[in-house]
Structure 1
Amino acid sequence: MDRKMSPHSALVDVLQQGSTAFPVVLFKEYKRLGLNEGQVILLLHIIVFREKEEVPFPTVNQLEERMSVSADQIVQWLQTLVQNGFLSIEETVEGGIRSEQYSISPLLQQLAAACLDREPEEPDDSVEEAYENLFQLFEREFGRPLSPMECETLTQWLDEDKHPEPLIVAALREAVFCGKPSCRYIDRILLEWQRNGVQTPEEAAEFSRKFRTKGILYQSERSAGEGETGEFSLYNWVNQSP
């Protein structure tokens, strides 16, 4: 004899009805395609009716029962979806009986086009060349190939810290002149310039000119107890060619 199902068993029975696959890209791209949230939910209801309940052409009343908007709003959305190429109504003949059904093929076509539009652009050759030139300049000034850690540091200056390339070159020149050609020392220079609002090689030269002779610019890698005087002579590296 059948027994009345418990609430837990009834819930399990509902969950066992399965799920419906929705195109994830629909949630990512619907705003860009000009759809609103109500239209998206309407499309999802149409998909559920078709895939889970074998109702390929749900009526407005059936849709209204599951949505929190009026029948007039649903009709308006359906018309908009058809007119804008997101939904189509197809006529089928089976056993001599004509019937209609909704097709979301137009929606999938538009989503596919949106995905293609999102494909990454080809890298800018000029940017790649600028990076390569900068790496070669550092290797030339250091007199040796850069280590992987040094390459990562240069990339961080450009991509994360957003230091302008001319300013990085200026910091390199300053470090070489001071006899400290290392990424660690150059990073200290760039940080000091950033703190003081230095944005161009010309501003960097002026900043160095004012403070270098005072011995307070760019602390040495050695500790203060080693007796470093911090004295520098003036050097016009701004107008030096690479």
Structure 2
Amino acid sequence: MATYNDYRGAGFTVVSNNLLKYYPQLQLTETELVLILELEAWAQKNNTFPSNDDLAKNMTLSPIEISQFIQQLIDKDVLILQQGHDQEGRINNYYDLNPLYEKIDKLVAKQNVTSNYKGSTDYKNEPVQDPIQIIIRQFEIEFGRLLSPIERQEIAAWINIDHYQAEVIKIALREAVLAQVYNLKYVDRILLNWQRHNLTTPDQVKNFLQRS
């Protein structure tokens, strides 16, 4: 008889409840949703480009059908097939679900504004999205996992204590992703390096990177 530890050994996949809530509004079918969950499961095991055969093993679809549904997700602008370089400089492909979560973030923001409008007639009281939460969400998307409470506190400290601009943090995150290093220590080193060079604005950082 299977025990809970057997299930633990198989691992767990963490997904946002907002994906389950808003996928109908994105015109996604249940089959497409399950395929997205499969892509997330592989990504959280550090495989961002599973084969169609691998995906088909856990679904009632053939590899050819998987390919067709992948193309449908691309056509719906919720998935991108990207190319990058590994540590040895070789070109590799990977699936990027950022467009999906960006669409969901917009739906969530719209819902928040609508809810606030219904509860108040004062337009000045409409909520402004917390920049810290926006950045945390972006890190979770890029890292393919939820951040720990300590990691969330570190990001908050970058803004509240170190006074890094949100856009500068996002650029540092992009540099870490390009280097395929998915941890906050690496991002922190990037930010400290820019601080030593007195680079405090997004334009200054971009100019510095262009010259490098």
Report the TM-score, using the length of structure 2 for normalisation.
0.51
Q: Distance in 2 between matches of 1:101 and 1:48?
A: 14
User: 1:181-192 counterparts in 2 under 5 A?
Assistant: none
Query: Which segments of 5 or more consecutive residues in structure 1 lack a partner in the other structure?
Result: 1-6, 126-242
Q: Distance in 2 between matches of 1:34 and 1:117?
A: 17
The verdict on how the C-alpha distance between 1:96 and 1:63 changes in structure 2, with shifts beyond 3 A counting, is same
Alignment RMSD, CA only? Answer: 2.1
Matching residue within 48, 52, 69 for 2:41: 48
Report the TM-score, using the length of structure 1 for normalisation.
0.45
Deviation, structure 1 residue 103: 1.3
Partner in structure 1 of residue 93 of structure 2:
100
1:19 partnered with 2:5: no
Q: Distance in 2 between matches of 1:64 and 1:88?
A: 19
Deviation, structure 1 residue 50: 1.4
**Greater RCO, CA 8 A, separation 6+:** 2
Partner in structure 2 of residue 76 of structure 1:
68
Question: Max radius of gyration: which structure?
Answer: 1
The verdict on how the C-alpha distance between 1:28 and 1:65 changes in structure 2, with shifts beyond 3 A counting, is same
Deviation, structure 1 residue 96: 2.1
Task: Give the residue type in structure 2 aligned to 1:110.
Answer: K
Deviation, structure 1 residue 100: 0.6
Q: Distance in 2 between matches of 1:91 and 1:42?
A: 21
Q: Distance in 1 between matches of 2:12 and 2:57?
A: 20
Q: Distance in 1 between matches of 2:33 and 2:20?
A: 8
Size of the alignment, in residue pairs? 118
Partner in structure 2 of residue 86 of structure 1:
78
Matching residue within 25, 34, 39 for 2:27: 34
Deviation, structure 1 residue 30: 0.6
Deviation, structure 1 residue 71: 2.6
Deviation, structure 1 residue 73: 2.4
Q: Distance in 1 between matches of 2:53 and 2:103?
A: 28
Matching residue within 54, 59, 66 for 1:62: 54
**Deviation sequence 1:52-103 (CA, Å, 0-9, x none):** 2x22101111111110023332222111111221111121112021111111
Deviation, structure 1 residue 8: 4.3
Deviation, structure 1 residue 12: 1.8
Query: Which segments of 5 or more consecutive residues in structure 2 lack a partner in the other structure?
Result: 122-212
